[in-house]
């Protein structure tokens, strides 16, 4: 009896603790489940209601968006939201405003708008720096001429962008857009190689004479017979990104001055 009296309260406490633990765990699970449900549904709600203030910013700052019809605008907006929900944008030495987020997301969405598969699985975060920076992402280093950077090794999964250059890329129409430029490098690298041949886009479409056109245009450039900016001459991969910037920023001019390349780029980007 003593033993029973002695053990009973302990057992009772044990059972009480066990019950409390079960209740706590169940409650935590339910809270977790509810938050998952809420988050999932809040994303859907956001996708269905693209904020008007965001739309106004796109209309004002993203010429490519402005020229789209209503259906494509809706597709563009949904992709902007998906991108911003998935990728982290971090400011280093600078704030990240809504406009910066929208310009970065637009740079990601524009090159692949013609495709149903359009994600950037290798990209994890975008690091925004105030101005141009050095190879080691230091804006104060003496050699700081970079406006954007992606790569492999320690750079894998990261994109560095100068905020100043990102903004001016969308404000001026000089066929330079660093946001587009860096995302075009990612499109190029999706097949495992940064080589100026976007296999992902041209696969199974043997009709696209991509390399022939690239080499013809690079030749013209070296003879001073092309209005492409000099940087396109540096390599096949830079040619792709510079041509892409031109194609998405000034399609009418490209069509007029480089009709063959324009036709090929339309096929490559399916736009
Ligand atoms: Zn480049």
DSSP assignment of 30-81 equals: HHHHHHHHHHHHHHHHHHHS--HHHHHHHHHH-HHHHTS-HHHHHHHHHHHH
Q: How many CB atoms lie within 10 A of CB 194?
A: 20
Reported as a single tens digit per residue, the pLDDT across 218-259 is 999 889 888 898 889 889 999 999 999 999 999 999 999 999
Name residue, tokens 């739309």: 55
In whole angstroms, give the CA distance from residue 187 to residue 33.
36
Separation of 160 CA from ligand 1 center, angstroms? 12
For residue 226, what pLDDT is reported? 87
Separation of 210 CA from ligand 1 center, angstroms? 18
For residue 135, what pLDDT is reported? 76
Separation of 159 CA from ligand 1 center, angstroms? 12
Separation of 183 CA from ligand 1 center, angstroms? 10
Q: Give the three-state DSSP class for 82.
A: helix
Q: How many CB atoms lie within 10 A of CB 221?
A: 19
For residue 161, what pLDDT is reported? 96
Separation of 36 CA from ligand 1 center, angstroms? 39
- pLDDT tens for the chain, 271 residues long, are 223 333 333 334 344 556 555 555 565 555 444 444 333 333 333 455 789 999 999 999 999 999 999 999 999 999 999 999 999 999 999 999 999 999 999 999 999 999 987 789 889 999 999 998 887 766 666 667 889 999 778 888 999 999 999 999 999 878 889 999 999 999 998 888 888 888 877 776 656 788 888 889 899 988 988 889 888 988 999 999 999 999 999 999 999 999 999 999 998 998 9
For residue 113, what pLDDT is reported? 95
Q: Give the three-state DSSP class for 26.
A: helix
Q: How far apart are the first and last CA of the chain?
A: 86
Name the residue among 230, 232, 263, 231 with its Cα closest to residue 247: 263
Name residues with Cβ closer than 5 Å to ligand 1, which is an ion. 241
Separation of 233 CA from ligand 1 center, angstroms? 11
Separation of 80 CA from ligand 1 center, angstroms? 23
Separation of 151 CA from ligand 1 center, angstroms? 10
In whole angstroms, give the CA distance from residue 246 to residue 252.
10
Separation of 98 CA from ligand 1 center, angstroms? 25
Separation of 84 CA from ligand 1 center, angstroms? 23
Separation of 24 CA from ligand 1 center, angstroms? 53
């Amino acid at each position: 009896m003593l033993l029973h009296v002695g053990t009973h309260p302990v057992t009772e406490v044990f059972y009480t603790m066990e019950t409390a633990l079960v209740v706590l765990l169940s409650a935590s699970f339910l809270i977790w489940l509810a938050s998952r449900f809420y988050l999932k549904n809040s994303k859907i709600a956001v996708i269905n209601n693209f904020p008007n203030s965001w739309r106004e910013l796109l209309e004002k700052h993203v010429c490519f968006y402005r020229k789209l019809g209503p259906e494509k605008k809706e597709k563009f907006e949904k992709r902007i939201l998906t991108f911003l929900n998935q990728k982290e944008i971090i400011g280093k030495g600078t704030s990240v405003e809504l406009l910066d987020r929208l310009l970065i997301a637009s740079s990601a969405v524009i090159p692949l708008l013609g495709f149903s598969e359009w994600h950037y699985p290798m990209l994890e975060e975008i690091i925004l720096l105030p101005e141009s920076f050095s190879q080691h992402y230091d804006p104060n280093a003496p050699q700081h001429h970079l406006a954007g950077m992606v790569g492999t090794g320690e750079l894998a999964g990261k994109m560095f962008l100068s905020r100043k250059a990102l903004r001016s890329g969308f404000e001026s129409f000089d066929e330079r857009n660093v946001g587009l430029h860096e995302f075009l490098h990612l499109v190029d690298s999706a097949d495992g190689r940064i080589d100026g041949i976007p296999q992902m886009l041209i696969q199974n479409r043997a009709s696209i004479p991509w390399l022939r056109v690239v080499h013809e245009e690079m030749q013209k450039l070296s003879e001073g017979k092309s209005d492409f900016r000099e940087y396109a001459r540096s390599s096949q991969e830079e040619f792709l990104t510079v041509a892409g910037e031109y194609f998405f920023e000034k399609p009418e001019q490209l069509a007029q001055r480089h009709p063959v390349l324009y036709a090929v780029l339309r096929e490559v980007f399916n736009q």
